[in-house]
Structure 1
Amino acid sequence: MLSTGFLWLGLSICSEITGTSFIKKTNSFRKLGPSVLVICAYSICYFALTKAMGYIPVGIAYSLWCGFGIVGVTFMSMILYKQKPDLPAIIAMVLIISGGVIMNVFSNM
């Protein structure tokens, strides 16, 4: 049952990363294609997050969703927009991932 929750959570995270990464390409929602992609991605994201929270404790699901979303969007911004994170950003992402792993492995929520 728990693995089902993580599959839903993975779909939610991927959809959130996609939606957030393409917001800039919508040109303030003036371009139809990217705008539809963003709206669909966020719809899938929140539907899947809702399903994941039926299997995974809310605190763990939300912390993993936020943390991996932040890291994923940062990587996508490197690819799509040629943005380069500096050392403090890289350190922060390592801490975010570490926090998610620690919470998932050691928490009894």
Structure 2
Amino acid sequence: MNPILVAYASLALAIVCEVTGSSLLQKSEQFSRFLPSLASGLCFVAALFFLSHALKVIPLGIAYAIWAGVGIVLTAIIGVVVFRFTLDAAALIGMALIVSGVIVINVFSRSAVH
């Protein structure tokens, strides 16, 4: 199997685990509820495991930019859909700028793995 494809799949799994862990933090009520707290911790451990595999191929800065950009957007979506948070125009513009930066890195940077 193509190592680049495996690396990006590992990064995607890392992002999903991190976003899940972050969402469970909200449900843990400051670690006062055992099961959401335990699940959150396990998700973060899994996220770091998958990120470490992605870093075998993807440079750290590139992987972290993708992790942060996608993670911010997914976490914001979960916040709006699940927790009924609201996002103002500044939040949406800021997220759009972050996503734009990740796209620029992946499309134009020679540092990114293609």
Partner residue, 2:10:
8
The one-letter code matched in structure 1 to 2:94 is: A
Partner residue, 2:79:
77
**Which runs of no fewer than 5 residues in structure 2 stay unpaired?**
none
TM-score (norm 2): 0.91
Aligned pairs, how many? 109
Post-superposition shift, 1:36?
A: 1.5
**1:44-59 equivalent positions in 2, closer than 5 A:** 44-59=46-61
CA distance in 1, matches of 2:33, 2:98: 33
Post-superposition shift, 1:42?
A: 0.3
Once the two structures are aligned, what percentage of the paired residues are identical?
Answer: 34
**1:1-109 equivalent positions in 2, closer than 5 A:** 1-109=3-111
Post-superposition shift, 1:41?
A: 0.6
CA distance in 1, matches of 2:4, 2:58: 7
**Which runs of no fewer than 5 residues in structure 1 stay unpaired?**
none
CA distance in 1, matches of 2:35, 2:79: 19
The one-letter code matched in structure 2 to 1:22 is: L
Summarize deviations over 1:55-98 as a string: whole Å, max 9, x none: 11111001110111111111111122100111111111111111
RMSD over aligned Cα atoms: 0.9
TM-score (norm 1): 0.95
Runs of 4+ in 1 over 4 A off after TM superposition: none
